[in-house]
Amino acid sequence: MTFKVSKPSKELLGTIMLDGSKSISNRALIIRALCEDDFPIEHLSTSEDTQAMESLLGTTEEVYDVGPAGTTFRFLTAYLALQPGTQILTGSERMKQRPIGPLVDALNQIGANITYEENEGYPPLRIAPPSLSEKNQLSIPANISSQFISALIMIAPVLPRGLNITLEGKLVSRSYLQMTLDMMAYFGIQYTFDEDRISIAPQKYIAKSYRVESDWSAASYHYANAALADEVDLTLGGLFEESMQGDAVTAELFDRLGLQSEFSEYGVRITRKEQTAPAMLEHDFILCPDIAQTMAVVCGALGIAGVFTGLETLSIKETDRIKALQTELAKVGVSFSRMPERFSKKSGKAYYVVEGKADWESAPRFPTYHDHRMAMAFAPLSVLGPVLIEDPKVVGKSYPAFWKDLTTLGWQIQVESD
């Protein structure tokens, strides 16, 4: 299936309530599963990833198939490592290409019994009953996925001696790790987090009702729409200025591009400021890698030079997002390239540059690579002219109401034959 997406008017006016954060929802579900008492979770994400998490936490089947849900796979690896019985944890073909070795190694060191069913270091996994040891010290690379570390620290309180983790090297996506710790603290867990060490003693989670805040990653696509529109008065419900989500930096990034965010108890109202867009946008996305695609497309659409760092994890997401951006932006005359190594030596960072201004004669066709964020990051180009988005239902992974919300705000969406 392919959608032809267009916006007849360049006005962006209206109000929508955004879905709950997928990242927060999945953590809340794992914490509830580790808690001795049940508690209600309000505004839970309706994403396929969260639905998979909730369903699998309630199953008694031997095979746990998460599909393409990476967060779900990683969090369940740690959770199932503590459970009785033997389970097979598997996923989509892409999931079987995404490394899980560092998390499995760490869990096995503290007494888990996890082996690989196919390729060493990759899903699927056979998770047998654990023989939890007295070992509570781990040293792990800090540049692995923060989801590996979050998976470990969420189970830490229920381990016999807790867990002390030493992080070696540069920490990636620290904001997501802090999100996990903040949520654990809400449920009564005490911890210490120094520069390179996290210590969590054995203790019990305290059941408390919880409301999930709306998803700032989802909000980034509507900010992108607003940046390309001529007139803007858009309200997004459920978003707050003081957020535990790293992607809340979206408001600050688009402030640089001329959008004003006014926060209230309901959410955020977005309007346009009286200023011209800058000639360049430079940002380190190490704390917010999920909005890097959005910003690359926006820079290309506005003809703004983008200078990006902190993209280390983009190649191991649902697809290689760096290669996908390079291929798809080129279709509208925009380049996304890595700067020569000599520019990286002094800072130790890999620099990527967006150059050119998007332009096309006939509607460009964008495959989505089974990646929800490719679909949603390229959809804002439709403010400038019609675009074709292949496999549009892929957005269900994180934001099932995405296309519905666009139509509410004035978009036209037609199903095209492939």
Is-contact 155 110, C-beta < 8 A? no
For every one of its 418 residues, what pLDDT tens digit does the chain have, with 9 covering 90 and above? 999 999 999 999 999 999 999 999 999 999 999 999 999 999 999 999 999 999 999 998 999 999 988 899 999 999 999 999 999 999 999 899 989 999 999 999 999 999 999 999 999 999 999 998 778 999 998 888 889 999 999 999 999 999 999 999 877 768 889 999 999 999 999 999 988 899 999 999 999 999 999 999 999 999 999 999 999 999 999 998 999 998 999 999 999 999 999 999 999 999 999 877 788 999 999 888 889 999 999 999 999 999 998 887 676 666 788 899 999 999 999 999 988 765 555 556 788 899 999 999 999 999 998 899 999 999 999 999 999 999 999 999 899 999 999 999 999 999 987 6
Is-contact 305 335, C-beta < 8 A? no
What secondary structure letter does DSSP report for 380?
G
Is 290 among the residues known to form the active site?
Answer: yes
Q: How far is residue 33's CA from residue 35's CA, in Å, rounded to a whole number? A: 6
Element (H, E) at 377: helix 372-378
Distance in angstroms between the alpha carbons of the first and the last residue of the chain: 6
Question: What pLDDT is attached to residue 258?
Answer: 94
Alpha helices in 5-139 (DSSP H): 22-34, 48-57, 70-80, 101-109
Is 41 strand, coil or helix? strand
Is 338 strand, coil or helix? strand
pTM equals 0.87
Alpha helices in 117-215 (DSSP H): 146-155, 174-186
Domains of the chain listed by start with CATH number: 2-20+213-416 (3.65.10.10), 22-211 (3.65.10.10)
Question: Which residues are 192's β-sheet partners?
Answer: 199
Q: How far is residue 53's CA from residue 72's CA, in Å, rounded to a whole number? A: 6
Question: What pLDDT is attached to residue 69?
Answer: 87
Smallest CA-to-CA distance from 271 within 257, 259, 289 is with: 259
β-pair type (87-90, 63-65): parallel
Question: What pLDDT is attached to residue 309?
Answer: 87
Question: What pLDDT is attached to residue 342?
Answer: 56
Catalytic member of 49, 247, 290, 391: 290
DSSP string, 214-243: B-HHHHHHHHHHHHH-SEEEEEEET--SS-
Q: How far is residue 178's CA from residue 171's CA, in Å, rounded to a whole number? A: 12
Per-residue pLDDT tens over the stretch 190-212: 999 988 899 999 999 999 999 99
Q: How far is residue 134's CA from residue 372's CA, in Å, rounded to a whole number? A: 42
Question: What pLDDT is attached to residue 271?
Answer: 97
Q: How far is residue 310's CA from residue 352's CA, in Å, rounded to a whole number? A: 9
Q: How far is residue 93's CA from residue 185's CA, in Å, rounded to a whole number? A: 36
Q: How far is residue 33's CA from residue 55's CA, in Å, rounded to a whole number? A: 12
Percent of the chain as helix, strand, coil, to the nearest 5: 35, 25, 40
Is-contact 234 14, C-beta < 8 A? yes
Question: Which residues are 388's β-sheet partners?
Answer: 4, 365
Q: What is the biggest distance separating any 2 CA atoms in the chain, rounded to whole angstroms?
A: 66
